[in-house]
Amino acid sequence: AQTVTQSQPEMSVQEAETVTLSCTYDTSESNYYLFWYKQPPSRQMILVIRQEAYKQQNATENRFSVNFQKAAKSFSLKISDSQLGDTAMYFCAFFLGNQFYFGTGTSLTVIP
Amino acid sequence: DVKVTQSSRYLVKRTGEKVFLECVQDMDHENMFWYRQDPGLGLRLIYFSYDVKMKEKGDIPEGYSVSREKKERFSLILESASTNQTSMYLCASSFYGLAENNEQFFGPGTRLTVL
């Protein structure tokens, strides 16, 4: 079975600072995809960033980047220059065999 | 833009009622999913479908059923609603299989309260 673990239920960061959200996963497969999704308060879940397991280069999308450590099965999300609009629930997800597996989420609050 | 829509944002039902939650997507996605979202538990998969009239049980199918008569529409049915089914229900869709551009697109969610 595939599992995704987010060990930080809640985090906070000062505006303009950098924060890192942790995610670990467990699988015996070698080819898969990893995602970070963002769910703002009372708003729709949207994709933040995606990483393909066979690519060693870490994905980057503007202020969002990942630290993908395949051997350690770790996939953390770094948010640089945090903005108030980054306040949201963040879910780490793993895709394999036509199915997505989600972590329990990290609630991030950006403090003005 | 991909759109996944859900029939209601908020729904209040009584114990024992039959409840229908509907989801429609406009991207010709093969896969459609129903999740339940509860604080501290994240997203838990109830059912998914990879084709019309096909369905697969997820992690928590008990007390739920689904229907997919058309590719764009996926319905979640609570045959006899119970208070422990009070939750946020999220619908999602994606293309089939492992592909470079694959991702799940989510609807806005339905917050169901069962009294």
- pLDDT block averages, 10 residues each, chain A of length 112: 89 97 92 92 91 89 95 96 97 86 95 96
Confirm or reject contact between B95 and chain A (CB < 8 A).
no
Nearest alpha-carbon partner for A96 in B54, B43, B99, B107: B99
Q: Which residues of A touch B31 (CB under 8 A)?
A: 98
Answer yes or no: is pLDDT of B94 > 80: yes
* Residues on chain B touching A48 (C-beta within 8 angstroms): none
**pLDDT tens digits, one per residue of B29-86:** 999 999 999 988 889 999 999 999 899 999 899 999 999 999 999 999 999 999 999 9
Distance from CA of A29 to the nearest CA of B (A): 13
CB atoms inside a 10 Å sphere around CB A85: 9
Contact A98, A47 (CB under 8 A): no
| pLDDT confidence tier of residue B97, bands split at 50, 70 and 90 | confident
Q: What is the pLDDT of residue B99?
A: 66
Residues 23-52 on B with a CB inside 8 Å of A are: 31, 33, 35, 40-43, 45, 48, 50
- CA-nearest residue to B56 within chain A is A99
